[in-house]
Amino acid sequence: MVRAAKTIVLGGRVVFILSHVDHQRQAPARFRGHAAAPLIGLPEARRAALIEVSQKSGPSAVDSASSEVVSTVEPAADTSAGMPVSGVLDDSDSPYDVIDLLLLEAFSAGREPVARSKELENVRPTARLLPAHARVIRDAETDYLQSLLAVGEGWTVRAVHWKRNRRASVTVTAVTAELADQQLALATADAVEPQDTTDERVPIGFWYRSPRGPRRIPRTIETAAWPQIRGNYSGRVTAALEPLMALTSITVNGRLLLLHGPPGTGKTTLLRAIARQWRDWCRVDCVLDPERLFGDPAYLLDVALGDNEDDEDEDTPRWRMLLLEDCDELVRGDAKSAAGQHLSRLLNLTDGLLGQGRKVLVAITTNENLAVMHPAVVRPGRSLAQLEVGRLSPAEAVAWLETQAADAGAGRLMPSFGPEGATLAELFAIRTGAGSSVDPIPAPGTGLYL
């Protein structure tokens, strides 16, 4: 069975080498040196061109040492006329791979030398993603993905729709640039659903690195306004947050926002409130794999540059804030030795060469204590703000429960608190009946080894 195809140049000839999974078996003689099987559904002229390419292929031979089928094809004198396409498929390929291969045939052969593509987000579930009079010749669909290949007079379109995350990719090849632009506009017309921008929901993008490269998935998330959650934080934290919430694009001073404190203190809730408060001037992107972001310079560059899709004026782009949650390994004192260049690239993004000319803020949450963080992260002048989002004091915790009970019309709760108080997560557990007291924090011990 054929596993893969590779191309080399020997003596001025293009040589296609078709490797086999089982080297004891050889491809049937009738398939050696030929293009893929007849492409049922393609226009007659296109099928004839593929058959002609197969018939013009040079003699095939089997290399006994490597059990590889080798065929040679003389390169065309005029490369602008196009180049032949030879596809080899096996049981590791999917119908989607076939559609991808068929799309390239007319473009590679030169009959449709112009290609246009467009990536879409927030696609309507019912979007067809094809021009009205397109003739579908291939249709592959699963529960989460649909891929269509359609043709028209002088053009071909492939539409891939990822249903679960509401993304789509549309590619058109055509005989002229005007025709390609026209058909792409028809295929994508009214395909995107306007995002919900009510007061309770905020648009946010989620970055991750896929097998095909960096991807950004837009979503809208529910957020609470700052006045609604102000009482969830201690007086010290609230006083530090007030100027941060009042920040504007003109008053930004520093690029790094650092929120640290024990788990369950409301750091993520706070970031959502900031996203809502700043949404008029700052777009928010959450990076799902920060360890890969700072380990891959190409990925980092894509995220740092962004796509500016929401900018109304290219001369005055909006600010962007990258959210990196639970990045303890990036900011602790041994980050330089433990994570290599990760810390250096983080700092370069905030106030180094990479960050110059880009309106990018970086917000990091961590459970690490400020005392154990790397000095380069917490040095003066680098941070927009460094906030310890800690536990509520015993008095603040009791007041929080009394307010919640009064709002719900319930009886007064009488939990027990130690001198260290309680986290927001512990208070919510008490309010819902999942807990009645807060266990004291154990004092750090010496350990068994000195």
* Domains assigned to the chain: 2-81 (no CATH), 95-188 (3.30.310), 201-388 (3.40.50.300), 394-431 (no CATH)
CA distances to 21, 143, 388, 427 from 394, in Å: 68, 52, 18, 11
What's the start-to-end Cα distance of the chain, in Å? 63
φ, ψ of residue 291 to 5 degrees: the values are -65, -35
CB 256 within 8 A of CB 383: yes
CB 179 within 8 A of CB 115: no
C-alpha–C-alpha distance, residues 80 and 113, integer Å = 9
Give the 3-state secondary structure of residue 107.
Answer: helix
φ, ψ of residue 102 to 5 degrees: the values are -65, -35
Residue 33 binned pLDDT confidence (cut-offs 50, 70, 90) = very low
Is residue 158's pLDDT more than 90?
yes
φ, ψ of residue 7 to 5 degrees: the values are -125, 135
Return the structure tokens found at 373: 């963080």
The reported pLDDT for the residue numbered 410 is 60
Segment holding 72, helix H or strand E: strand 68-73
Contacts of residues 335-340 at CB distance under 8 Å and 24 or more positions apart, as own/partner, are 335/374, 335/377, 336/374, 339/291, 339/294, 340/295
Return the structure tokens found at 384: 């927009």
The reported pLDDT for the residue numbered 333 is 54
Tens of pLDDT, residue by residue over 35-87, are 444 444 445 554 444 444 444 444 444 344 444 444 444 444 444 556 666 66
pTM here? 0.61
